[in-house]
Amino acid sequence: MKGKFCWKLEYSFVLFIILGIIVFVMPFSIDSTRQANIISRWNGKINRVEYMFSVINAHITDDILYGYDRAKTPKERETYLYTLIKPYMRLKNCPIKRHYKTRYMNGARVYKGQMYYFEDLYFAENKTIVGIKDVKTENPDDALFIMMFDMNGFLPPNRWGRDIFGLNIFDGGRIEPFGYDKDMRELKNDCSKNGTGLSCSYYYKIGGGFDE
């Protein structure tokens, strides 16, 4: 009888340890699966945007080019790009919720007036949030626009490199994810808990892992 009691005690102890391990590991496993899904969706989004601009370029007309050249202010140029891509991405105005605040991967807040703060946001398919910003400079080699994509919309974490990613839009419709001009060491440093997470946009495209 005593031996049976000891066996039950040992069995319960082992079961308790197993349950403890499951409880400890499960949140990390779920988070990893969720993050892997977001990264997969982001890579798919890059391909779709590349295709979108290839179609736009194939059908661009002198009237479209003239209309863009007449847009003198950043706001006018942003509106013009929005008009061009709206039917392809099914964009619609996105009422900004007060609690929607974006952060870098290291937790630092993205403030109004900073390069990667987007004033105008739009809903796309699957409740993705899309931002468009004019960054035109005197240098013809620089990007004309940047775009942000929050892959799960208003849902957290709303952080660059976690669920927010970005693209540079160049003259001629060429697109490049943020970080395309960095080497591997810079990509890994920026796409980490101590970095901004901006370069994750390119790092994930070339096969980098979010847990590295």
Percent of the chain with pLDDT over 90: 55
**For 132-143, how does the pLDDT look when each residue is reduced to its tens digit (9 = 90+)?**
999 988 888 899
212 domain-assigned = no
* b/e 93-130 (16+ beta carbons within 10 angstroms → b): ebeeeeebebbbbeeeebeeeeebebeebbbbeeebbb
> Which contiguous run of DSSP H or E holds residue 169?
strand 164-169
194 domain-assigned = yes
Please state, rounded to an integer, the average pLDDT across all residues of the chain. 83
**Residue 166 belongs to what domain range?**
2-203
Those residues of the chain that have pLDDT short of 70 are: 1-32, 62-68, 98, 210-212
64 DSSP β-pair partners = none
Asked if residues 153 and 102 have their Cβ atoms less than 8 Å apart, the reply is no
Specify the number of domains making up the chain.
1
pTM of model > 0.75: yes
Query: What CA–CA distance (Å, rounded) separates 32 from 42?
Result: 15
